[in-house]
Structure 1
Amino acid sequence: MTGARIIYTEPLTAAAFAPFGDLLDTQGKPDKIINQGFCGRYHDRATLDFGPEGRAGISLFKAEPRALPLTLDLVERHPEGTQAFIPMSMDPFLIIVAPDMGGTPGTPRAFVSAAGQAINYHRAIWHGVLTPLHAPGLFAVVDRIGASPNLEEHWFEPPYEIRQNRE
């Protein structure tokens, strides 16, 4: 892609993703053993925020799988609430985020999840669209339901190209 800026993927870790949101996974020991000892509960893993006029909603998204390299020309953010993406399969997906630089996104970062990982974007975090890397691309999404506007978009010119990590 001529004129594109190149970004390489990186593994999704709690520390690397912390400026943008919460990593949801089952690393370490569970907080509690429940259900007659057959289930570990990993308790309260995300900071959910739906603003004063919103409420939590659970939706299902089914997105077409994408492949790398990927052209990144659009990011969005939701100023009124958090947004959690929970894959309904054990397949990895691509997570694109960018820091806010005075109302516009800075240089994006691209993470690839491991099987069993989910994420929660904090309020007003610039992020790419839902990008599964494998079918079925089915996700449970917990986000804000409300009447006030909750979407801002930014188009990159020139776009970025996201490539697989150089390892």
Structure 2
Amino acid sequence: MKTIQLTPLNQENFKSFGEFITLENANQFKINGGSTDRFHALSSVDTEANGGRTIVSMFRGQAFHLPFELKVMERHPLGSQTFIPLNPNAGQRYLIVVAPAECKNEVEVVDHLTAFIAQGFEGVTYAKGVWHHPLISLDEVNDFIVIDRLGPGNNCDEIPITSRLVINNP
């Protein structure tokens, strides 16, 4: 059994997998007569390949707990994918497991896995082609806004994880 250690989630540690979405240090300004704070352009979504278009969906992630055993990784070769929690609170967490887009098979994916825990209002945009585990809400059910691609072509590749890989509590 291989154990994957958790890496702190921040702009620097996540940049090779996509964009880390946080309000900290965001371009912020007042709109609507000063009654609303706009946190501007937190992430961009890449969905136009092969006639794709950007869509907004809601996902409801069922609760999982650590330790968590990985079973599959997926990627979207034609577009990026953004996850933003809808009901964040101080203790709400979800697990992010990623591997570089350049990985070509299970062995390469497993050898290059990185795991993060997002908390509260932290979101991520997986870059086009980045391997990631499907949504893993921790401790309780969590709802997400998901922004991704709709259009022609195969935009979901999966690799089953046949070796035993576990992510433990930090």
Aligned to 1:31: 28
Corresponding position of 2:78: 80
> Which string of whole-angstrom CA distances, capped at 9 and with x for unpartnered residues, describes residues 78-113 of structure 1?
000010011111121111101244423242111001
> 1:136: how far off?
2.6
Greater share of residues in helix: 2
TM-score in terms of structure 1 length: 0.90
Give the aligned residue type for 1:86: I
Runs of 4+ in 1 over 4 A off after TM superposition: none
Residue pairs, 1:95-134, within 5 angstroms: 95-104=96-105, 105=109, 106-134=111-139
Segments of structure 2 that go 5 or more residues without pairing to the other structure are none
Q: Name the residue aligned to 1:43.
A: 40
Q: Which moved further from structure 2: 112-121 or 132-141?
A: 132-141
SS of 2:13's equivalent in the other structure is helix
How far does residue 29 in structure 1 lie from its aligned partner after superposition?
A: 5.5
Q: Secondary structure of 1:86's match?
A: strand
TM-score by length of 2: 0.88
How many residues in Structure 1 have an aligned counterpart in Structure 2? 162
- 1:57 alignment partner in structure 2: 55
Aligned to 2:162: 157
Q: Which SS does the other structure have where 1:158 is aligned?
A: coil
Match of 1:135 in 2: 140
Question: What's the CA shift string for 1:33-54, capped at 9, x where partnerless?
Answer: 2222233222112121111310
Q: Work out whether residues 50 and 153 of structure 2, in 8 Å CA contact, stay in contact via their aligned partners in 1.
A: no
